[in-house]
Chain A
């Protein structure tokens, strides 16, 4: 039997990374994610892993560029303003198809915002953030245990698809204590050999890791077409969502992360009152589980996007239902550090179903 340990979400994330074979972490302090670099600084030695407190977010993300190209599992973490600073490097990592894990413990914005939890970096995470056409695999844990489990899986997804993976969490999950089952690492995918790494050209032709494609003139197009193929494959294989009481629902809430968890309590209350409400909890935000939502719309005509932002997730919910007649999609939420309570959501459910 595996042991359970009381941990903060941030600590669970760090421990999972080390268990998964992390060999390099670089980060810069920013609230509310500081437990991740602190934990790494303490625990990395036990796993023969390297910890660097970088001088800047840009340095940290570019250290990952080197660490990944050298062939090692690597991770950085930050919170919203810091993740904005990392965007240049994220674009390069995506362009270079370098596997790595980037953790965003989201706080309120825009600007310096505040240090309360938020989900207002959704667009930045799933639509790009940096320059150029690219996609990150984006995972949204909803419990401290999932901070552990999804972080561990993230390394396999990153290596399997040769793509950066983002853990999109928030300040509540990062700071919250819960018992966590410390599962030993076991690959969930058949991981390919890394035949592209740089380790000196002993006994082979030199290799180049680059993101510039000047020659021939269509080389960048070809590179982009290859990326598109990869993204299609990921979309086909890796859409994860949990559905709860959707079969008979008059209204389905769509949410991710901590909000989905709060929504569950609201749904329980609503069901007790005889209201037929269900939930689609998104686990991957990219690829977006559109089919799950589309399929649910065959029997349910009302959807409510519950999010701690001014209305970002709702756009993807609407796109998933695009062209379907008679569907009502509403938004409930606010950015800037506002959290819904189960009662808030329950009141909204009553209003929508009135």
Chain B
């Protein structure tokens, strides 16, 4: 469609063209993520939010162990790469020592909800003034598709080849629900990035979390249901529907907002 001068002006007013530029909080780099993976979208959302809140030069991010371990190649920020599951402990110390900096962790389901469960719960419970971005795709990506704590019942992974069984592997771990009973956290929301509408909502949640942190309101936690077509062994298009299925176990919504 050829745009008339008038409609171009209209779109400019709506900032559509501006949105197509690279956020300053992202480096000029091509990611290593697979086609259809949600990390690229989420990286961009975090970067856009940091740009919009003018926080880039104040921010220290943490890299997890998992698919996002190389995120320092993509985020144009100070980044500390942590050992598996420990980003909340690392971020705790940095934030206590540098309270005027913005600290966020970016963690997958293995990092945050399996090996790092201790740090997750206690950092939340202390109400540390940091932001946790939790990417839940119900599977271990980097190591090649093993069971995650958030793997759904009957979901096949390379370590649950017959599907996850509640009798032997227990149930998918619901972290937002778990943390929402604690007094420490300020804001907990679960979002998804499998549709344009959901992406917009996800960005709003991420923005709220960083906004709260910059206002010293305390611990903020955004869980993001994300796609892993490679390890789910579905097409990128079908992976969007797969996330809808995840929502049966992991309903979207705000679990806590103390404001």
Contact = CB atoms under 8 A, between A and B. Distances in A.
Contacts of B63: 210
Interface string B58-93: 111001000001101001111111110010011111
Interface string B90-132: 1111101110011000000000000000110110000000000
Contact of B97 (A24, A88, A200, A214): A24
Contacts of B70: 212, 214
Could you say which interface size class chain A belongs to?
Answer: 35 or more
Contacts of B119: 55-56, 58-59, 62
A279 to B, nearest CB: 41
A265 interface: no
Nearest to B90: A66
Contacts of B76: 201, 206
A339 interface: no
Contact of B93 (A26, A55, A56, A202): A26
A198 B118 contact: no
B57 interface: yes
B217 interface: no
B8 to A, nearest CB: 35
B94 A69 contact: yes
B97 A55 contact: no
A89 B97 contact: no
Given A55-B118, A59-B118, A65 B97 contact: no
Nearest to B65: A212
A211 B97 contact: no
Given A62-B86, A200-B101, A209 B81 contact: yes
B90 A65 contact: yes
B57 A70 contact: no
A63 B123 CA distance: 11
A208 B72 CA distance: 7
A207 interface: yes
A201 B122 contact: no
Contacts of B75: 206
B56 interface: yes
B93 A24 contact: yes
A324 to B, nearest CB: 43
A92 B75 CA distance: 22
A207 B78 contact: yes
Contacts of B82: 62, 65, 92
Nearest to B27: A206
B118 A199 contact: no
A65 B119 CA distance: 14
B58 A70 contact: no
A92 B83 CA distance: 7
B112 to A, nearest CB: 14
Contact of B58 (A200, A207, A212): A200
Could you say which interface size class chain B belongs to?
Answer: 20 to 34
A64 interface: yes
Contact of A58 (B79, B80, B94, B118): B118
A202 B58 contact: yes
Contacts of A55: 118-119, 121-122
Contacts of B98: 70, 199-200
A257 B191 CA distance: 57
Nearest to B84: A88
A40 to B, nearest CB: 14
Contacts of A64: 93
Nearest to A93: B83
A107 interface: no
Interface string B20-64: 000000000000000000000000000000000000111110010
Nearest to B78: A198
B101 A59 contact: no
B57 A52 contact: no
A66 B91 contact: yes
Contacts of A63: 89-90, 92-93
A124 B93 CA distance: 26
Contacts of A23: 97
A266 interface: no
B79 A199 contact: no
9 contacts: A26-B93, A55-B118, A59-B86, A62-B89, A63-B92, A64-B93, A199-B78, A200-B57, A200-B78
Which 7 A-B residue pairings sit nearest by Cβ, starting from the closest? A66-B93, A66-B90, A210-B81, A62-B86, A55-B122, A63-B93, A202-B57
